[in-house]
Structure 1
Amino acid sequence: MRIGFSVPQFGPFADPDRTAALCAALEAMGCDGLWVADRLLAPVAAPRGYLGGGRMPARYATHLDPLLALGVAAAATARVRLGSSTLNALWQPPVVLARALTTLDLISHGRLDVGLGLGWMREEYEAAGVPWQGRGARLEETLDVLGTMWRCDPVAHSGPLWTVPESTVLPKPVQSPGPPVLLGGFTPPALERIGRRADGWLAASMPVPLLEGLWAVAVGAAQRAGRDPAELRRVFRVNADVTRAEADPAQAHHRGTVRQICDHLRVMCASDTDEVLVDLQLTSDSPERYLDLAAEFLAELRQPAG
């Protein structure tokens, strides 16, 4: 099992100097990856489609840009993988996104994992001026353009949404044929896309029966596409709500003591290539508490199950 943490970038952690110091400390503690998230705004009214209803946590209104935060993390570290879980892929043209991601791969000397998703908040799409309808097709062509930008010389693309004239676009990423691309999503079409063309799945900690059903869709799609499902990575994100006393076991996929949450994560990780991503930004308010909890999770996750 690989162990990753969120790049501190929200609420009280939305300070570049604090972000850099915490990323360096997390790497020194021995984690394997650091991951940014993507938030454009936090509506004052309850956003449409928000899980559980109601308003979003107040700290999501204060945030650092994910790609610039990854640049801060890259400069502050030397070993850990750096990724996005998830970057909303459709809020900028894919040629602009490809340039930024290539630069990050160069800055990090080939440590970038590109995690892309569609997001869930209509209000952010409205603010970005991007249509809500047709998101799946827009993502498919975005992936086409990214692949072309990273692999081809000269570059050219002609599609329903974007046209790139035959051009020279250099430099290319350090990683060849490009940084690994992992996709988020929890619907059958999203899992089918992952199996068909991604390097892995940005998943979440969830009840195991739900995981098994979703993963079977990706496995089947990979097999139909002539790909080996065993080569697909899985990153299980948990927005940890850490409690002092044991919580309801039915909530252990996201809420409970450190041991409860880790026990569930160990059950989910079936191979050495699986990774957990522990986000501590909603359950800690200071750098000291963040690092204390990170140390607890690292120590616990390195213990065998049971």
Structure 2
Amino acid sequence: MKLGLALPTFGPDAHPDGILHISRTAEDMGYDSLWTGDRVLAPRMPSAPYPSADGRMPRAYENHMDPLVALTFVASHTTRVRLGTSTLNGLWLPPLLLARSLTTLDLLSEGRLTVGLGLGWMPDEYTALSVPWKGRGARLDETLDVLEGYWSDDVFSHEGPLFTVPETVVGLKPSQRPGPPVLLAAFTPVGLRRIGRRLGGWLPVAMPLPHLLGMWDVIRKSAAEADRDPDTLHMALRVNPQLTDVRTEPDRMPRAGTLAQYVDYARAAAEAGVHELFVDFGQTSATLDERVDLAGRFLDGVRRG
């Protein structure tokens, strides 16, 4: 199982030195990937609760960087690690601009980009960007149509219910062909089936492994029904540790526990067939140096297993 680490693109460490320190250290340690998230608002009174146990949005989100610009910066200071978004809210940009940005980043990183898309959880951000909250699934499907056409066709056009792209020559192509892998964060039956039908894989968040594997089975069956090989799909599992000083009861994991418990969870995920797991120590109150220490101890613990 490959291991990744979230970059400090949120909170007090979201500055050039912090990003450089984490990205270079993670690559030197032996991490396989680095990840960014996506926010445009931190409303004082959001219209929907944050999807967590207490419903509160992390204070770190009050300071947020552009994920693709941050990854471009990281690409210029690393050579090996893959660069992923978890998640990029892909509906906030017109799909043609999204295709150009992703293609450029994949080219500049020499084929290290993993595109993790999500639909977000907060209608306020859609309102601020003049993008409809309703109809997100249909908008996502048409966005994927544009991405696929832009990456595969030398002469491309698109005519759909939401977007029109006049016929154009597309000279810019990504390093990865036909394009960078596109994963989706989805948890509804419709979203899981969409992954199996047309995407490169799944971006789940940490949950009890039996539940995780049950949802993965839905994805794999949907892929087989669409005449796709389920074994080509990739699962990248995001873990947001809520670290405690003493071991928690098993029913609280992976929502909260000690670092050793999260190491055990990662080992169990590897044995269960999870392809990649990445951890975000930015969800804790740790300083930058403490995050580096946690990252090193976590990596050593999992690798020893």
TM-score normalized with structure 2 length = 0.96
Aligned-residue offset at 1:161? 0.8
User: Could you tell me which residue of structure 2 aligns to residue 20 of structure 1?
Assistant: 20
The number of equivalent residue pairs is: 304
Output aligned runs, 1:3-42, within 5 Å. Answer: 3-42=3-42
User: Could you tell me which residue of structure 1 aligns to residue 84 of structure 2?
Assistant: 83
Q: SS at 1:179's partner residue? A: coil
User: Could you tell me which residue of structure 2 aligns to residue 302 of structure 1?
Assistant: 303
User: Could you tell me which residue of structure 1 aligns to residue 286 of structure 2?
Assistant: 285
Q: What is the distance in 2 between the residues matched to 1:61 and 1:8?
A: 13
User: Any stretches of 5+ residues in structure 2 without a counterpart?
Assistant: none
Output aligned runs, 1:108-127, within 5 Å. Answer: 108-127=109-128
Query: 8 Å contact 2:195–2:219 — kept in the other structure?
Result: yes
Aligned-residue offset at 1:261? 1.1
Q: SS at 1:99's partner residue? A: helix
User: Could you tell me which residue of structure 1 aligns to residue 163 of structure 2?
Assistant: 162
User: Any stretches of 5+ residues in structure 1 without a counterpart?
Assistant: none
User: Could you tell me which residue of structure 2 aligns to residue 211 of structure 1?
Assistant: 212
User: Could you tell me which residue of structure 2 aligns to residue 134 of structure 1?
Assistant: 135
Q: Read off the aligned partner of 1:259 and give its amino acid letter.
A: A
Query: 8 Å contact 1:237–1:278 — kept in the other structure?
Result: yes
Q: What is the distance in 2 between the residues matched to 1:176 and 1:146?
A: 12
Q: What is the distance in 2 between the residues matched to 1:12 and 1:285?
A: 11
Q: What is the distance in 2 between the residues matched to 1:163 and 1:221?
A: 29
Output aligned runs, 1:55-204, within 5 Å. Answer: 55-204=56-205
Range 43-52 or range 69-78, more displaced = 43-52
Identical aligned residues as a percent:
50
Q: Deviations over 1:231-252 (max 9, x none)?
A: 1111110111122211222122
Range 199-208 or range 283-292, more displaced = 283-292
Aligned-residue offset at 1:227? 1.0
- Closer/same/farther in 2, CA of residues 76 and 35 from structure 1, 3 Å limit: same
Range 207-216 or range 161-170, more displaced = 207-216
Q: SS at 1:60's partner residue? A: helix
Range 14-23 or range 178-187, more displaced = 14-23
Query: 8 Å contact 1:183–1:200 — kept in the other structure?
Result: yes
Q: What is the distance in 1 between the residues matched to 2:81 and 2:60?
A: 26
Aligned-residue offset at 1:265? 2.3
TM-score normalized with structure 1 length = 0.96
Aligned-residue offset at 1:53? 4.9
Query: Over the residues paired in the alignment, what is the CA RMSD in angstroms?
Result: 1.4
Query: 8 Å contact 2:46–2:122 — kept in the other structure?
Result: no
Aligned-residue offset at 1:303? 2.4
Q: What is the distance in 1 between the residues matched to 2:186 and 2:221?
A: 16
Whether 1:262 and 2:263 are equivalent positions in the alignment is yes
Aligned-residue offset at 1:273? 6.5
Q: What is the distance in 1 between the residues matched to 2:47 and 2:56?
A: 7
Query: 8 Å contact 1:254–1:261 — kept in the other structure?
Result: no
